Amino acid sequence: MRPILYASLVVLLATSLLFAASKAERRLANCATVLEEILNIPDGIPKELLDKAECVVVFPSVKKFAIGIGVSYGRGAMVCRSGKNFSGPWGAPAMYRLEGGNIGFQLGGQATDFVLLVVNPKGANSILKSKVKLGADASAAIGPKGRTATAATDAYMRAEILSYSRSRGLFAGVSLEGSTLRQDKNANKRIYGRQIAARAIVLGGGVPVPASASRLVSVLQKASPNNLSE
């Protein structure tokens, strides 16, 4: 009986690991879909701001749960430009979690997609820490939208992170102050097959883009091939 029990446990463990890995891979696919759709909104994220972003963070379908108080929770991924000073092509993604008490129903929906532009190296280095609180550890602002918005806006000049949201078809800049970003270490391990920190993925160099993230990286590379920040 013991060999049968051991074999069953091995099969169960392998199945669980495969399911967890495929779940993380589906998250990357959802990030690619959300980002592509949002970037194609006519008066959405200004191209000029995207071209000056060091990193982009995507959280598809952030949900709000009412347990005593409303708590929002989402899982997504951050992609940064590679190379020194974030001057190269878009690199491999690091998996992240978004947590907050007031972000779930910003636009009246039960699930909200978020896109964050990290618009300077200071903001990128803040997010690459194990945990960062927006508005405290990194300055955040409502992202300006529309074709007439320029990189000279007050929001861009002051902020390290610009945030946008989409819910029930409505797209807008949105405040995420007070929300927390943290690395999703388990998801990073599932995607890369080993324990690896977000900083090592983004800044370490030599981490190849996994096949499951190729579409997400391709969407960014097509939309903004070069970093035009000064």
Task: State the pLDDT at residue 99.
Answer: 87
At residue 103, the pLDDT reads 53
Whole-number Å distance between alpha carbons of 83 and 124: 13
Q: Quote the pLDDT of residue 170.
A: 85
* Residue 49 pLDDT grade (very low, low, confident, very high; cuts 50, 70, 90): very high
Nearest to 58 by CA among 216, 178, 185: 216
One-letter amino acid of 172: A
Domain limits of the chain?
2-223
pLDDT band at 121; cut points 50, 70, 90: very high
* Alpha-carbon dihedral sign for residues 51, 54, 58, 62: negative
Q: What is the pLDDT of residue 7?
A: 44
Summary mean pLDDT of the chain: 83
pLDDT of 65 higher than 60: no
Measured distance CA(96)–CA(78) in Å, rounded: 7
Would you state the pLDDT for residue 156?
Answer: 61
